[in-house]
Amino acid sequence: MLNSPYSHFVASRQGLYAINESSWTQLAEGQYYGITLRDNILFAFEAGDRVKAPTQQGRIVAFRLTDNDISSSECLVEGLDNGCHQIDFIGDRLHVVDTYQQRIVEFSPCFQHFDYRYPLPRAEFNAWTKGYAHCNSLIGFGEHILLVLHDGGKHTGRPSRLVFCNQNWQIIRQLLLPGLGCHNIVIMEDGTILSCGSLSGTLINTKRTIVKVDEMMTRGLSVDRDNIVVGASMFAIRRNRKEIPGRVHFLSRNYVRRATLELPAAPTDIRRIDGRDYSLSNYASSLPMTQSILS
């Protein structure tokens, strides 16, 4: 979609969308969470059943893009847990945040082989007092892999955490985030980190709230040289989340709201169509950013 009138892809529980500041079009139906881009292909994690269902119907689908639409699709991986969240390429390997199983699934470049990575101890879903942390987002940058640990939000009252792993998936540093139920990681040019303070409807960094975005929860974050694009949706109990609508806010880089687009679905992830997106590991790693907060 290099010549598309749209600027961003949005994943949601009601399908995949292409959007700009004033309009949207639905590209595919399905229950989608993480999305990422590589070589003019949109990769998406699709849950084939309820996210808590033990049916292992999650899959990775590759959508080949033409100028204005999806020209073909291919299922690359099947049998994943339905509760996976964000996905991204770090180098030539796709990484899937297998949230409910508290692990990362790392695929070989040909998708024929995979390894489970356990930066956190194994723990049962929602066992908050026994080590479950609900890891939902990742980004690779330099020698580090960063993860967002939701840590329970309203269930526990604990703030979310940002953890730094080395290439062996060992945690070498942790920072508390000033928010509950957080999602997403974007590394900015000065080396600071932007995230969604989801339950407060904010954008935050590791030290403070930067801006109030919405009364609804924030989730899905894309940043480029000129724009910040963030999703928002009503907070609902899990069984009702598939039906709720949402919106996407377009902000300037100094956090001034420029436009708001109403969507019939709640965003779960947002990526820039041309791939020039600081939320994408390989693009962020290609930029001459300082590593101040990472050192």
pLDDT at 68: 64
Q: Give the amino acid at 238.
A: R
Compute the distance between CA of residue 233 and CA of residue 210 in angstroms, rounded to an integer.
19
8-294 maps to CATH 2.120.10.30: yes
Query: From first to last of its 295 residues, what are the pLDDT tens digits of the chain?
Result: 656 899 999 999 999 999 999 999 999 999 999 999 999 899 999 999 998 889 999 999 999 988 767 888 999 999 999 999 999 999 999 999 999 999 999 999 999 999 999 999 999 999 999 999 999 999 999 899 999 999 999 999 999 999 999 999 999 999 999 999 999 999 998 888 999 999 999 999 988 999 999 999 999 999 999 999 999 998 654 555 567 899 999 999 999 999 999 999 999 999 999 999 999 999 999 988 766 555 5
CA-to-CA separations, 226 to 51, 223, 275, in angstroms, rounded? 35, 8, 14
Q: Where are the domains of the chain?
A: 8-294
- Residue position matching structure tokens 């639905």: 26
pTM, to two decimals: 0.94
Return the HEC string of the chain. Answer: CCCCCCCEEEEECCEEEEECCCCEEEEECCCEEEEEEECCEEEEEECCCCCCCCCCCEEEEEEEECCCCEEEEEEEEEEECCCCCCEEEECCEEEEEEHHHCEEEEECCCCCCEEEECCCCCCCCCCHHHCCCCEEEEEEECCEEEEEECCCHHHCCCCCEEEEECCCCCEEEEEECCCCCCEEEEECCCCCEEEEEHHHCEEECCCCEEEECCCCEEEEEEECCCEEEEEEECCCCHHHHHHCCEEEEEEECCCCEEEEEEECCCEEEEEECCCCCCCCHHHHHHCCCCCHHHC
Phi-psi region of 126 (alpha: psi -120 to 50; beta: other; left: phi over 0): left
What is the structure's pLDDT at 147?
A: 98
Report the candidate in 159, 199, 190 with the shortest Cα–Cα distance to residue 175.
159
